[in-house]
Chains A and B, each alone.
Chain A
Amino acid sequence: MLDKELIRKVALSSGADDVGFGDLELFDDAPPDMDPRYIFPRAKSIIGMLFRIPRGVQRGIEEGTQFGQYPSLAYGNINEIFAPVVLYEVGKLIEDHGYEAVVYRNTGGRGPVSDMTGEKGSTLTPEEQIEIDAEIDTDKQRSSKKTPLHRNVKSTRPVSPENRAPDLQFHFRIAGVICGLGEIGWSKMFLSPKFGPMVRFAYILTDAPLEPDPMYDGEPLCKRCMACARECPGNCISTDTTKSNKINIGGKLIEWGEIDTWKCFVYYTFPGRKHDPFIPTEVFEENKDGKLAILEKEGVKSGEEETLNVYRTLEGYFPTWMGYNMAKCGGCIGACVNMLEKKGCLKDKFNEPFRTTRKRWEIDR
């Protein structure tokens, strides 16, 4: 007999760190292009699985000495290898009991709607390497070609009138809320009561009838301390509480601050002269053809062109691995972990604090 406890047990023993069951009717107000029921119309339940990013994987960025393990292990590995293995195991369990399991990993920005602009068509997505041909570093052996995550969704269209254009992607963080796994903080990062913002997700849509879990209704994890905004090297997160984004899911209000997503893209990978130790000072000083304007000057409007200008100029200084951009900023996520620990918001306690100094490192230049 398939039930929630059996699914939970298999998911946890296979490697998930938390499991929740969501009510698909809570997607009623989602834009149709982000409604998972179009993927599997007979679905009765959505199962959310949460995977922690080990705190130690963030350690090198926090210390400013090692940056490559985080994108490889925490992004590439969880998305491409670890979560799919768990999805497969839980999917087999469900199908062995006569139900169908649409296993759904994080596919990156493959959807018909841009996760940068909300508009239809191809665009970039911050975690993923851009197809680019940079020739900068002294010992580079060969130019990079197409990335494993290359995509072109300009021509996507529905295959029938009652369908939506592929590949439909639903909002992973909102689905996490629906599955009762936590809440969304001011920075728009998902916050788990166990692991704070250090998490990633995978989901299963199934026609198995499973009682939904309640959404998280504990003490709010995000205290609106704005540490995420203060420590963002690009000042990409607004602290203006009058301009927040609000949505209502089944009576639960979800709110996050205004975020300059294009600027976040730039600073996530190339966080500027004070936070990017891989770029020599003279490159910022030269600011060749003004391509680094968004990093070097105030008031430059962010967008795809400015993002590509920076990317093309700096990509060769630190190569990617597994097709995921190097997360070098560590700003919002490090700040949030630090504050959640200090405010006692996290259930799982470490023996030593994440941050022992008052202020995070900043390059003096």
Chain B
Amino acid sequence: MINSEYIKSMAFEYGADLAGIGDIDLYEGSHPRQDPRQICPTARCIIGFAFRIPKGIIESMQNGSQVYNYTLMGVKANAEEKTMIFLMRMARIIENEGYEACLQRTSPNIRVRDDHGTNPEVSVSYRLSKSVSVDGKRPEPEVLLDFDKAGAICGMGTLGWRGNLLTTQFGPMQRLAFIVTNAPLEPDPLLERPICDNCGLCSEACPGHTISYLVDGSRYDKWSCSVYYRGAHRSNPLMHDGILKDHPEREKILNGDKKFSPEEAKSVYGELDFLPPTQYGYVPCLCGKRCDTECYRHLLEAGRIKPMKNNYGRVKI
């Protein structure tokens, strides 16, 4: 008989750094295209897992000595290898007990039809704008969970200024995976206190000024982020005179002052060819992920997050 404690203990044994269980009823009123009950109508809960980005990777980005390792290890190895193996192992535990494990990995290259942004991490991203409902009642596929929101529902953290999940131990520095299941597991409570204190350091740190202080309107300009993430700024140690040399707004771009429309962003990707994309098309992060590294540093200093020495101590195996 599985229960919440056992699921979490196995999650830690298999390599998760955080695990939480969310009450499926908290999705009441959510958009059907982001509602896990549309994937698994018998779902009773959603289980969330976080996988930390090692501090050494963050530090090597901060000191400017290693820029590729974050993409290779923090993004690609985490999302495409570690979490994939992990999810399959967790599925065995749940399905061996007769419950269904609807595994939810990231879908980096696709976006729901309402999402007019992009995913700065990948070379190609599609918006599924033309799909139709299979019966006129169910939402048009692809139903995709909002991973940040799901992490909060699972009690692992709260949303930060730009809408990303900040967890109690790692702030913004983790990748996420989920399992929607009809196993009856006791949910964790939501965190009451926000982890983000609206310090604004993420906004100040971004070399492309893609995170706005403005309370109204969009706080995070993903299309501009996708350009600066690829290194279109002076602080990129790989920048040279040949990059964007004929672009009429080169100075503005390199100063981080250009706001990119989707078409403008797509038109410059080809020139920002500093390092090869990894397998599966993750583009190298050449902004230093300063929004997250500064956030992480601040949250640690302010005592708003506290990494534990090891998670095995949290739950008895």
In the complex, how many angstroms separate the beta carbon of A146 from the nearest chain B beta carbon? 12
Contact assessment for A278 and B128 in the assembled complex, using a CB-CB cutoff below 8 Å: yes
Report, as a range, how many residues of chain B touch the other chain.
35 or more
Q: Which of B87, B92, B127, B141 contacts A66 (CB 8 A)?
A: B141
Instruction: Report whether B138 and A144 are in contact in the complex, using a CB–CB cutoff of 8 Å.
Output: no
Given contacts A54-B95, A280-B132, A363-B132, contact A63 B41 (CB under 8 A): yes
Q: How far is the CB of B112 from chain A (nearest CB, A)?
A: 11
User: Can you name 14 extra interface pairs (CB under 8 A) apart from A138-B129, A277-B141, A318-B110?
Assistant: A17-B92, A54-B95, A55-B95, A56-B181, A60-B39, A66-B142, A67-B141, A72-B105, A77-B85, A139-B125, A319-B110, A348-B95, A352-B42, A365-B132
Does A65 lie within 8 Å of B92, measured CB to CB? no
Answer yes or no: A303 CB below 8 A from chain B CBs: no
Query: A337 to nearest B CB, angstroms?
Result: 12
Q: Is A116 an interface residue (CB 8 A)?
A: no
Segment touching B, from A41-49, A78-86, A185-193: A78-86
Q: A68 and B127: CB pair below 8 A?
A: no
Chain A 61-100, CB-CB to B under 8 Å as 1, else 0, gives 0011111110011000110011001000000000000000
Docked-complex contact A141 and B40, CB < 8 angstroms:
no
Judged by a CB distance under 8 angstroms, whether B91 is at the interface is yes
Q: Given the known inter-chain contacts A56-B181, A60-B102, A81-B80, please indicate yes or no for A321 contacting B109, CB distance below 8 A.
A: yes
Known: A141-B118, A142-B266. A63 touches B40 (CB 8 A): yes
Known: A81-B81, A352-B42. A63 touches B138 (CB 8 A): yes
Contact among A54, A72, A277, A349 for B131, CB-based, below 8 A: A277
- 12 contacts across the A-B interface (CB closer than 8 A): A51-B88, A55-B101, A56-B101, A56-B102, A59-B40, A63-B38, A63-B41, A66-B39, A81-B81, A137-B129, A349-B98, A350-B98
Are the CB atoms of A56 and B40 closer together than 8 Å? yes
Taking CB atoms, residues of chain B closer than 8 Å to A318 are: 110, 126, 128
For B280, what are the chain A residues with a Cβ–Cβ distance below 8 Å? 321-322
- Which B residues, 59 to 117, have Cβ-Cβ distances below 8 Å to chain A? 80-81, 84-85, 87-89, 91-92, 94-96, 98-105, 107-111, 116
B103, B126, B127: which contacts A56 (Cβ < 8 A)? B103
Contact, CB under 8 Å: A138 / B128: no
A interface residues, how many (CB within 8 angstroms): 53
Q: A54-B101, A281-B132 are in contact. Are A140 and B124 (CB under 8 A)?
A: yes
By a CB distance below 8 angstroms, the chain B residues around A104 are: none
| Contact yes or no, A65 B105, CB < 8 A | no
Residue among A60, A77, A139, A362 with most chain B CB within 10 A: A139
Q: Is the CB of A352 within 8 A of B182?
A: yes
Q: Is B30 an interface residue (CB 8 A)?
A: no
Bound form: Cα–Cα A349–B129 in Å: 38
| Residues B100 and A65 in contact, CB atoms below 8 Å apart | no
Contact A142 to B124, CB < 8 A, known contacts A350-B98, A350-B99: yes
Q: Give per-residue flags for A105-144: 1 if the beta carbon is below 8 A from chain B beta carbons, else 0.
A: 0000000000000000000000000000000011111101
Interface residue from B39, B84, B107 paired with A63 (Cβ < 8 Å): B39
Q: Let me know if A73 and B84 touch, CB within 8 A.
A: yes
Bound-state CA distance A351–B96 (Å) is 10
Q: Across the interface, which residues of B come within 8 angstroms of A142, CB to CB?
A: 123-124, 266, 269-270
Binding site for A on B (CB under 8 A): 38-42, 80-81, 84-85, 87-89, 91-92, 94-96, 98-105, 107-111, 116, 118, 123-136, 138-144, 179-182, 262, 266, 269-270, 279-280
Q: Are B100 and A144 in contact (CB under 8 A)?
A: no
A73 to B101 CA separation, bound complex (whole angstroms): 12
Residues B103 and A65 in contact, CB atoms below 8 Å apart: no
A55 touches B100 (CB 8 A): yes
- B133 surroundings in chain A (CB, below 8 A): 64, 277, 363
Least Cβ–Cβ distance between A238 and chain B, in angstroms: 27
| Mask: chain A, 146-157; 1 = CB below 8 Å from B; 0 = not | 001000000000
Contacting pair B132 A277 (CB below 8 A): yes
Given A54-B91, A63-B40, A85-B85, does the pair A139, B136 have CB atoms closer than 8 Å?
A: no
Kindly list chain B residues whose C-beta atoms are within 8 Å of the C-beta of A362. Answer: 134
Q: Is the CB of A363 within 8 A of B134?
A: yes
Q: Does A15 contact B (CB under 8 A)?
A: yes
State the Cβ distance, B27 to closest chain A Cβ, in Å: 14
CB pair A59 B127 closer than 8 Å:
no
CB of B98 within 8 A of CB of A351, answer yes
Indicate with 1 or 0, residue by residue over A15-34, a CB within 8 angstroms of chain B CB atoms. Answer: 10100000000000000000
Q: Which residues of B contact A140 (CB under 8 A)?
A: 124, 126
Q: Is A317 an interface residue (CB 8 A)?
A: yes
Tell me if A221 is interfacial: C-beta within 8 Å of chain B: no
Interface: A364 (CB within 8 A): yes
- Asked if residues B127 and A137 are in contact (CB atoms below 8 Å), the reply is yes
In the complex, A280 Cα to B39 Cα: how many Å? 21
A57 interface residue per 8 A CB criterion: yes
**When the two chains form their complex, are residues A361 and B87 in contact, meaning their CB atoms are under 8 A apart?**
no
Given the known inter-chain contacts A65-B38, A361-B135, please indicate yes or no for A54 contacting B103, CB distance below 8 A. Answer: yes
Which residues of chain A come closer than 8 Å to B100, judged between CB atoms? 54-56, 59, 350, 352
Question: Looking at the complex, which one of B118, B138, B262, B279 makes contact with A148 (CB distance below 8 Å)?
Answer: B279
> Closest approach, in angstroms, between the C-beta of A147 and any C-beta of chain B?
11
Q: Are B109 and A82 in contact (CB under 8 A)?
A: no
The 3 closest A-B pairs by CB, nearest first: A64-B134, A54-B91, A56-B102
Q: Does A279 contact B (CB under 8 A)?
A: yes
Q: In the complex the two chains form, is A68's CB within 8 Å of B38's CB?
A: no
CB-defined contacts of A277 to chain B, threshold 8 Å: 131-134, 140-141
Chain B residues near A364 (CB, 8 Å)? 135-136
